[in-house]
Amino acid sequence: MPKELDVKNTILESKRLILRGWQKEDLDDLYQIFTDPAISEMSGCPTISSMEEAQALMKMFQDMNKVFALVWKENGKVIGSLDLETPQFDFGEAYKNAYGKDVGCILHQDYWGNNIMVEATDLMVDYCFQQLQCDYMCCGHFEDNPQSERLIEKMGFHYQRDVIFHPQTGGEKAGKLYLLDRKEKEYENKS
pLDDT at 189: 47
Judged by average pLDDT, the poorest of 25-29, 58-62, 176-180, 182-186 is 182-186
- Distance of alpha carbon 99 from its chain centroid, rounded? 17
pLDDT at 167: 66
Is residue 2 scored above 80 in pLDDT? no
Is residue 51 scored above 90 in pLDDT? yes
Closest to 78 in 3D by CA, of 44, 110, 33:
33
Is residue 24 scored above 50 in pLDDT? yes
Q: At 159, is the secondary structure helix, strand, or coil?
A: strand
Phi, psi of 139 (to 5 degrees): -165, 170
Taking the CB of residue 100, how many other CB atoms lie within 10 A of it? 24
Confidence class for position 54, pLDDT limits 50, 70, 90: very high
Q: At 77, is the secondary structure helix, strand, or coil?
A: strand
Higher-pLDDT residue of 129 and 48 is 129
Is residue 17 scored above 70 in pLDDT? yes
Report the predicted TM-score, pTM, of the whole model to 2 decimal places: 0.89
- Helix runs in the chain, H state only: 27-34, 37-43, 51-64, 116-126, 146-154
Is residue 75 scored above 60 in pLDDT? yes
Q: Is the CB of residue 69 less than 8 Å from the CB of residue 107?
A: no
The CATH architecture to which 7-184 belongs is 3-Layer(aba) Sandwich (3.40)
Give tens-digit pLDDT for 105-118.
999 999 988 999 99
Question: Buried b / exposed e across 101-134, counting CB within 10 Å, b at 16+?
Answer: bbbbbbbbeeeeeeebbeebbbbbbebbbeebbb
